[in-house]
Structure 1
């Protein structure tokens, strides 16, 4: 019986944790598969995707910088992929159509609600950033029926455009960073700035003693954003390593029909970074 083939395509790709995560998932669920990271040249993405599935490949994860191009290739789109206009997961359905899914937001919500014991329903949420990472999380966040989501970005016009495209799903608006007022239940950093040691120009007063903060980036040390959050008096500040594991688990479920356990994989990954 042939071993089913899976890949993650990206450029760069050497830093990817996905092969070790999916190997652990396969072991935990007694699945026989081969998952590898593959560097794809910029002008060869579409051809490489087509060739992979033509050769019998079963599923792909897609990372930077190809998520929008993966979305554009698909014949069928999940609601999350359609709203995100980007895909991190590809597979063929029973009709042989290329299906695009975006599991990033599902991964975020599962990490917050299942792993971290958080609650998003009826909460006031500030999301920092207006790039592709933020676009990928808004539909699943809004599905949790928060009281309101406010998007703030260095370039306010981008935040306005982004919020406008999601107003059909719930109470979401944009606000210039300097004009943010009042505290929030959750502040989610969707920028990569803190990994470079930078912080968004946020005003004071956004955090109260019950505010929880979440940096979608992760590192071995506390991110600059999370260090700021704790200094400002946040109840708790977590990074995005759990999101990485949970989005991978959702991809695995789509491909294999089983949702793998994530706690031990997350613990092992935390020790290794």
Structure 2
């Protein structure tokens, strides 16, 4: 079959996908290293997504990122799967080899940990509270446990937190904790891994678990502060972060898998920040 693309083409697949910043990030990587590559976003129907991803590779696509709601559903496309993807139970990165086999990987967790390390806000034996027991939480647990942190999972439906903690109990110190018992513990980092931010909601956690030194991290990213970030600031935290650093770092690990080059994350975050400021300034009326 003829190659459809003149350049090496990579893509992110999802539904919805219009909000994705992955093309901005990866195309900036290509400029940094003068690579003749292009990264696009592709909206997939929920019915024929496997067929469409296969078609992308057959027509010359070299690699892909997978986002919601397909991360748990692309295992059947892969000939090889990394250990961290197996443990996470989801795949966010696909790589096509020259022999036409496909590797499935997950860079979400290592991207999250890389961002914490870059910001110098994590140490071994830190107590980390993860709010939420869905796919976002699942993706970051293994690298944090491997690094040596103590993980606590809480969720509005506590049984989901119990099930998730049991799945990872062989990899390190992890336990489930009810919302009402949170104030019995002291946490170094609190991570919002729920979808609450999408709907401008705030996870149901007691405000007295947030202290001045508590690091609060919302995995959800948008240009303004999320309500979770505002909540944490209002109750005293001096260290509040959104998910842009994780987004760039997980992209960097995907890029490394495809090109064997680890891109400059700090430059990329600066580029995105400047672009956001320019966009905001253009919208101002004087």
Same fold (TM over 0.5): yes
CA deviation vs aligned residue, 1:120-144 (integer Å, no higher than 9, x gap): 3110110000111111111111121
**TM-score where L is the length of structure 1:** 0.94
Distance 2:208 2:18 in 1: 40
Distance 1:84 1:97 in 2: 21
Gaps of 5+ in 1: none
Relative to structure 2, which stretch is displaced further, 79-88 or 203-212? Answer: 203-212
Deviation at 1:36, TM superposition (A): 0.7
Distance 2:123 2:86 in 1: 23
Output aligned runs, 1:98-117, within 5 Å. 98-114=102-118, 116-117=119-120
CA deviation vs aligned residue, 1:144-200 (integer Å, no higher than 9, x gap): 101x11000111111111111111110001111112122200001101213422112
1:45/1:125 CA distance change after superposition, 3 Å: same
Deviation at 1:22, TM superposition (A): 0.7
In structure 1, the residue matched to 2:209 is: 206
CA deviation vs aligned residue, 1:216-240 (integer Å, no higher than 9, x gap): 0122221111111122222301000
Deviation at 1:269, TM superposition (A): 1.6
Which of these residues, 43, 65, 68, is aligned with residue 61 of structure 1? 65
Which of these residues, 104, 120, 123, is aligned with residue 123 of structure 2? 120
In structure 2, the residue matched to 1:257 is: 260
Output aligned runs, 1:26-175, within 5 Å. 26-93=30-97, 95-114=99-118, 116-146=119-149, 148-175=150-177
Alignment of 1:187 onto 2:194: no
Q: Is the 8 A contact 1:22 1:248 kept in 2?
A: yes
In structure 1, the residue matched to 2:224 is: 221
In structure 1, the residue matched to 2:283 is: none
CA deviation vs aligned residue, 1:71-117 (integer Å, no higher than 9, x gap): 34322111221111111100124553221111111111111111x22
Gaps of 5+ in 2: 277-286
Alignment of 1:4 onto 2:17: no
Paired residue secondary structure (2:48): helix
Deviation at 1:14, TM superposition (A): 1.2
Distance 1:117 1:156 in 2: 31
Distance 2:56 2:48 in 1: 12
Distance 1:187 1:72 in 2: 34
Paired residue secondary structure (2:163): helix
Q: Is the 8 A contact 1:178 1:201 kept in 2?
A: no
In structure 1, the residue matched to 2:284 is: none
Paired residue secondary structure (2:120): coil
Query: Deviation above 3 Å: which 4+ runs of structure 1?
Result: 93-96
Distance 2:98 2:124 in 1: 35
Deviation at 1:270, TM superposition (A): 2.5
In structure 2, the residue matched to 1:232 is: 235
Corresponding residue pairs, total = 271
**TM-score where L is the length of structure 2:** 0.90
Distance 2:201 2:156 in 1: 12
